[in-house]
Structures are given as C-alpha cells and as structure tokens.
C-alpha cells in the first residue's frame, strides 16, 4: 500500500463500529416527523406569486459575462489550455507518488485555508489529488471570470463574488465522500455522526421555520448581563430608539470630558463589552473616562418610519443633552463604530451648520464616509436588489436581522458558513461555546425608512461625500465644514468597511486628523486589548490622498492601538474632576446595565 494511504477500517475490524439498529430506527422516525412539519411550514410561506425568480439579478450579470467571453474565444482557449496542462501535470505527479516517488505539488493553496488542515489532504495520494484538482479548477474559474473585457465594474464585481460563492460551495471538504476527516469519523462511529448531523440540520431548519439558520455556537452558554456585557453601570436615559448607559467609575478622578460611544445599530453594542479581559468599555473606564454608551433598540414594525435623521436626533443629540444633565459637562469626546461612525460624521456636519460645538473630539472606528469603493457589500446594492429589498421591508416595516446576518456571512463564506456545515452536519459535532459568535448571531432589525435611505443615499449614490448631497432635518450636510479633531481607526483585513475606503474620510473632514491602521479585521482589529499581545498597528502622521502612499510611509508598531488612541484623546483635554457615579446628576437611573433594549432578540 502506498505511503500515507489509510483507508477506513473494514466492517469486521475493531476500528469499525456498526450502528445501533434500534437507535437508527428511532432517529429516522423522528427525522420523518420533523421533516414533514418543516416542509409544511415552508410551503405555507410560498404564497407570493409575484416573487422575482432572480431577485439578486445574478442571471443578467452572468449572461453578460458569457456574451463577452464568447466574443473573445482566443482568451477562453488560452485559459483552457493552461488549465489542462496543469491538470495533466497533476495526473503525472499523482501517479509518481503512488509508485513511491517524490513529487512536488502543482498547486499548494493558502497556508491559512482551514478547509484542508487535516494531514490526509496532503499525506494521502487520493485526497491530495482531490484537493489539488479542486484548487486548479477554482483558480481556472476565477481566472476566467475576472479577465472578461468590457464588463462594467459593478457587473464584474457581482460575477466575481458569486463565482467565488459557487467555488466555495463546491469544495471537496463540504462533501461526505471527499472529506477524509468525515470519512474517518463515520467509520469510527458507525455513522452516528451523520445521524447527529441530520438532527442538527433539522434543528436549524426548525429554528429558521424552513429556512436554514446555521447554529454557530452554543446559544445557551451565554446571557447578556450575566457572563457577557457585564461592566457595571446604569441606564440613565431612554427614548424610543435607544437607552443611554453610564458606566460606574473605576478611578477616584476622571477626565473632565465624558466619552460617548455610538455603536452601529446593525449589531448590538456589547461587542465593546464582551468579556472583562477584552472589554473596551472596561478599559476606557480604567483609563479615567466617564463612559456613556448608546444601546440601540431592536426595532419592530412600529418604528418603520424612523429615518436616518431620527437616529441623529434621538441618538447623538439626545445623548449629548442627557450627558450634560448627568454630569454637568457640555463638552464630550465621541466615538462612532462602523455605521455609528457614519452617523457621527453626519451629526458633526449638522452640528457645524447649527453652531453646536459640544463634540470636542471624534473617533471613527472602521467607519465609511465616502462609499465610492464600498467593497463587496456593493454587490448587494443595485437597483433591482434595492427594489426587491424595499418591497420586503415595506410589507414588514423592517429588515429582518437574519437577512442582514446572511449577507455579512457570505462575505466570509468558508469561515462563517461552510465550516459550520462540515462541523455540525457532516461531523455531527455540537457548536462550540464562543462569545464572539454568540454576538454575531444576536442580530438586529433595521427600520424600513432608515435602511432604504442609508443604502440608496450612501452606498448606491455616495451622496454623503458630496457637499449638500443629503440633508438631515432640513440642513444640507457638508463634511468639509467639520473642524473637530478626528481619529480614524481602520483594520487591514476588513471585509465590511475596507480600509482604503475608510481612509477617504481623512480627505473629507476639515480639521486635524490622525489615521491608524490595525491588523486583523472589522471586529478583532478593533477589540484588541493591550494585554492580549495580539495584532500590530501602523501609524503615519502624513495623510496623502492615496492610501497606498500612506501605508508605504507608515511605521508598524507591535500590539494594540488602544494606548495610541488614549494618548491622542488625552492630549486634547487633560483636566480631571472627581469621579462621577451614575445617578449623582440630574438623571435618575432607570435600570442596571446593560439595560433591557439589548436583550430583545430578533426572530
């Protein structure tokens, strides 16, 4: 037998376990009963006869790509010839390996690709052939679709994105008979993993009422306010859209200017207070800040008519009034995370027009102000898709949180979809308790009016970057009028707000600015406590128009960016006052942090 060839044990060998017939019978009866119920629920929902057969307009994009390909057959033939030459080399190398001879791989793939982490993908000749064959095919498909002449940028982006979705779905790691780890476990358990996996699949379908709602973590392992989101504090103000939390001080004196943090309302705020050891809230309190955090409501149909300007007036502006009542301080430092940062920029321009200078420093966490190059989220923003989305939202009054979560998961499909398909359904494992994934699955809804405005005026038309392009409460917004000192924090591997897009904000605002780039992505790069010792960051005091020029002139510094921000913000105001306890001012605490709004879960 060739080296590395380790087939599953034979049925009569000690390593092979036969399934228990009684248990299988019981499981299959349960499967049949649950499947019938799921199908019945699914059919009840299929009543919209006017539903578009292609709401994402994928078909049109691929038809245009095909027509362009056929117009240049020489390019297609060249790509096919290269693919077949590589494939023949792979056959020859595999034959050499089977005869016990050394042979270099034709294609290796990325070292970070966790789909092929099992040693058998390289040690076993058959699985090594399957892996390399897939990687060659994937490279061929991507090479063809990304080198089509004449496609407009939006169509090319859509074709590339959905081609990768197809390629990722077809990975041999996603199938029983071509995944060595799954085959090994099937032999060891007598197929019990597949029965457990089928039950996991049915449970996910039941939870999604006929739609697949993949369970990423043990949702029973976490309780907001009990083992996540536990920094002590009080809700000191609330309205229809938000609760304002004031956190308990941890130092005898605090900076005179309170700190207001506005998270995105696409997700919940406790990503900044996930666990004590990586809580930005707790760290900021320990550094002497009086921390206030906006906890957005999880809206329902009653809030369908709440618009973007309502989030400004009932969010930032209401919070500023409440903070003054709670502390007696008119001036604050403000942080906006992602969409909360987009709102911060809009609010600052509105306040500049009104002569309101209460925000003395502005920090933008992975926030876009210019949406010209919005990354792969732009795939979902064309007229056909927006009309379909608005039709859905107008019926319900909101965008369901799970639909937004699915969109974000597709941006990292191998990590956030297919890895769980393999773990939960093929290996039959229960999801591991992981607080970050619990937060990721704790999705929020979006009011119909606000979300339509946001997608159209910013993502589709990019009007926020145009002076006077949008108006809020009747006031034209011009980001160039903002003179507030600004700190931009972006992350190098951000798939939601690409750093080169967020960098454009430095060219729009009129005041003094600092741009810092952290390693990792949209969440891990931001929530990176100094004690973790993870992820470096880059600094450069120059702000040239080209982000690549900024990066080439930047200096990499080991560890978290948090201390850099603390030095920056304290340099703008060093004065201290006695620590402020929630309830000491004019506002009476309503309830303990993290409040009740954050505990409302979407369906």
pLDDT tens-digit profile of 318-332?
999 999 999 999 999
Long-range contacts of 22-30 (CB under 8 A, 24+ apart): 23/192, 23/195, 24/195, 27/195, 27/198, 27/199, 30/199
For residue 216, tell me if it sits in a domain: no
How are beta strands 475-476 and 486-491 bridged, if at all?
Answer: unpaired
Residue 44 CA to residue 67 CA, distance in Å, equals 39
Residue 444 lies in a domain: yes
Same domain, 109 and 239: no
Give pLDDT tens digits for 81-123: 888 888 899 989 899 888 888 888 999 888 888 999 999 999 9
CA-based torsion, 8, 14, 18, 19: positive or negative: negative
How far apart are alpha carbons 46 and 48 in whole angstroms? Answer: 6
Q: Where among 174, 204, 221 does a domain terminate?
A: 174
CB–CB of 145/163 below 8 Å?
A: yes
Same domain for 539 and 464, yes or no, is yes
Q: At 73, is the pLDDT very low, low, confident or very high (cuts 50, 70, 90)?
A: confident
Per-residue pLDDT at 486 exceeds 80: yes
Quickly state the pLDDT bin for 301 (edges 50, 70, 90): very high
Looking at the structure, do residues 265 and 146 belong to the same domain, yes or no?
A: no
83 and 161 share one domain: yes
Q: Select from 153, 174, 195 the last residue of a domain.
A: 174
Distances (CA, A) of 595 to 232, 249, 261, 294, 548: 11, 18, 16, 11, 43
Tokens in use for 230? Answer: 């536990």
- Mean pLDDT estimate for the chain: 88
pLDDT at 2 over 60: no
The answer to whether the CB of 492 falls within 8 A of the CB of 517 is: yes
Section 504-520 average pLDDT = 96
With a pLDDT cut of 90, the percent of the chain lying above it is: 62
Query: Looking at residues 446-470, what average pLDDT do you find?
Result: 95
274-294 mean pLDDT? 97
Owning domain of residue 593: 233-384+429-599
Rounded mean pLDDT, 439-466: 94
Q: Quick count: other Cβ atoms within 10 Å of Cβ 135?
A: 23
Question: In sequence order, which ranges of 411-531 are alpha helices (DSSP H)?
Answer: 413, 419-420, 435-441, 448-453, 499-503
Q: How far apart are CA 1 and CA 129, in angstroms?
A: 17
Could you give the number of structural domains in the chain? 2
Q: Domain check: are 246 and 149 in the same one?
A: no
DSSP letter assigned to residue 228: B
pLDDT of residue 469: 96
Could you write out the DSSP letters of every residue in 102-154? ----S----TT-GGG-STHHHHSHHHHHHHHHHHHHHHHHHHHHTS-TT--HH
- Name the more confident of 489 and 374: 489
Look at residue 551 and tell me if it is in a domain.
yes
Residues 146 and 261 occupy one common structural domain: no
pLDDT at residue 44, as a whole number: 54
Q: Is residue 179 part of a domain?
A: no
User: Which of left, alpha, beta for 583 (phi over 0: left; psi -120 to 50: alpha)?
Assistant: left
Please tell me whether residues 444 and 301 are part of one structural domain. Answer: yes
Contact of 296 with 368, CB cutoff 8 Å:
no
Per-residue burial over 17-52, b if 16 or more Cβ lie within 10 Å, else e, is: eeeeeeeeeebeeeeeebeeebeeeeeeeeeeeeee
Say whether both 240 and 348 belong to one domain: yes
pLDDT at 488: 98
Q: Is 517 helix (H, G, I), strand (E, B) or coil?
A: strand
By the 10 Å C-beta count (0-12 exposed, 13-18 middle, 19+ buried), 429 is classed as middle
pLDDT digits (tens, 9 = 90+) for 371-400: 998 888 888 888 888 888 899 899 999 988
- Measured CA to CA in angstroms, residue 85 lies from 362, 408, 449, 460 at distances of 56, 37, 54, 43
For strands 486-491 and 537-539, give the pairing: unpaired
Q: Which residues contact 25 (CB under 8 A, 6 or more apart)?
A: none
| pLDDT at position 33 over 60 | no
User: How far is it, in rounded angstroms, from Cα 533 to Cα 528?
Assistant: 8
Alpha-carbon span 326 to 594, nearest angstrom:
18
Residue 512 lies in a domain: yes
CATH code of 530's domain:
3.40.50.1820
**Nearest to 178, CA basis, from 136, 120, 106:** 120
Q: Are residues 138 and 267 in the same domain?
A: no
Both tokens of residue 155? 């169509």
Q: Which of 250, 338, 362, 405 is flagged as catalytic? A: 338
pLDDT tens string 175-219: 999 999 999 999 999 889 998 998 888 888 888 777 788 889 998
Point out the domain boundary residue: 129, 148, 174.
174
Q: How many CA atoms lie within 13 A of 343 on its CB side?
A: 29
Tell me which residue of 229, 349, 371 sits closest to 295, measured CA to CA.
229
Task: For residues 153 and 239, state if they share a domain.
Answer: no
pLDDT tens-digit map of 519-569? 999 999 999 999 988 899 999 999 999 999 999 999 999 999 999 999 999
Residue 150 and residue 295 in one domain: no
The C-alpha atoms of residue 498 and residue 504 are separated, in whole angstroms, by 10
pLDDT at position 501 is 96
Q: Look at residue 439 and tell me if it is in a domain.
A: yes
Tell me the pLDDT band of 70, cut-offs 50, 70 and 90. low
Helix pair angle (21-45, 192-207), 10° resolution: 20
Both tokens of 464, joined, read 């926020």
Residue 35 lies in a domain: no
Residue 259 lies in a domain: yes
- Whether residues 374 and 465 share a domain: the answer is yes
Q: Give the three-class secondary structure for 414.
A: helix
Is residue 338 among the annotated active site residues?
A: yes
């Amino acid at each position: 037998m060739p080296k590395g060839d380790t087939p599953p044990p034979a049925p009569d060998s000690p390593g092979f376990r036969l399934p228990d017939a009684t248990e299988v019978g019981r499981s299959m009866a349960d499967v049949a009963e649950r499947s019938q119920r799921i199908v019945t629920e699914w059919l009840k929902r299929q009543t919209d006869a006017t539903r578009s057969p292609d709401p994402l307009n994928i078909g049109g994009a691929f038809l245009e790509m095909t027509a362009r390909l056929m117009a240049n057959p020489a390019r297609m033939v060249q790509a096919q010839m290269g693919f077949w030459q590589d494939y023949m080399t792979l056959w020859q190398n595999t034959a050499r390996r089977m005869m016990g001879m050394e042979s270099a791989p034709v294609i290796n793939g990325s070292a970070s690709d966790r789909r092929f982490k099992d040693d058998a993908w390289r040690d076993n000749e058959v699985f090594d052939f399957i892996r390399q064959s897939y990687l060659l095919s994937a490279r061929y498909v991507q090479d063809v679709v990304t080198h089509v002449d004449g496609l407009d940028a939006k169509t090319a982006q859509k074709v590339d994105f959905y081609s990768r979705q197809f390629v990722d779905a077809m990975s041999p790691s996603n199938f029983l008979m071509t995944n060595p780890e799954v085959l090994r476990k099937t032999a060891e358990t007598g197929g019990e993993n597949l029965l457990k996996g089928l039950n996991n699949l049915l449970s996910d379908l039941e939870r999604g009422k006929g739609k697949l709602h993949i369970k990423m973590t043990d949702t029973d392992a976490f309780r907001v306010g009990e083992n996540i989101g536990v920094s002590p504090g009080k809700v000191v103000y609330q309205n229809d859209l938000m609760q304002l939390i004031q956190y308990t001080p941890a130092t005898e004196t605090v900076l005179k200017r309170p700190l207001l943090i506005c998270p995105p309302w696409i997700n919940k705020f406790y990503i900044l207070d996930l666990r004590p050891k990586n809580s930005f809230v707790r760290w900021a309190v320990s550094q002497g800040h009086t921390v206030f955090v906006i906890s957005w409501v999880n809206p329902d149909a009653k809030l369908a008519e709440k618009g973007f300007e309502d989030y400004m007036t009932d969010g930032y502006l209401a919070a500023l009034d409440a903070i003054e009542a709670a502390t007696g301080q008119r001036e604050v430092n403000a942080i906006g995370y992602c969409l909360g940062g987009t709102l911060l920029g809009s609010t600052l321009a509105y306040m500049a027009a009104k002569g309101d200078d209460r925000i003395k420093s502005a920090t933008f966490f992975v926030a876009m102000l210019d949406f010209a190059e919005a990354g792969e989220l732009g795939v979902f923003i064309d007229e056909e898709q927006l009309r379909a989305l608005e039709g859905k939202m107008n019926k319900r009054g909101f965008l369901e949180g799970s639909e937004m979560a699915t969109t974000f998961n597709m941006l990292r499909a191998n990590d956030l979809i297919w890895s769980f398909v393999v773990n939960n359904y093929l290996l039959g494992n229960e999801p591991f308790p992981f607080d970050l994934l619990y937060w990721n699955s704790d999705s929020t809804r979006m009011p119909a009016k606000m979300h339509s405005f946001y997608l159209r005026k910013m993502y589709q038309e990019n009007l926020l970057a145009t002076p006077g392009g949008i108006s809020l409460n009747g006031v034209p917004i011009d980001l160039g009028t903002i003179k507030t000192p600004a700190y931009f924090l972006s992350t190098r591997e951000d798939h939601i707000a690409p750093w080169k897009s967020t960098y454009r904000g430095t060219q729009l605002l009129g005041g003094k600015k600092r741009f810092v780039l952290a390693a990792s992505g949209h969440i891990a790069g931001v929530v990176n406590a100094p004690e973790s010792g993870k992820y470096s960051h880059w600094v450069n005091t120059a702000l040239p128009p080209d982000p690549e020029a900024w990066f080439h002139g930047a200096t990499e510094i080991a560890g978290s960016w948090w201390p850099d921000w603390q030095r920056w913000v304290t340099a703008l105001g060093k004065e201290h006052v006695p620590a402020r306890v929630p309830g000491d001012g004019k506002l009476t605490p309503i309830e303990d942090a993290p409040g009740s709004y954050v505990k409302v879960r979407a369906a």
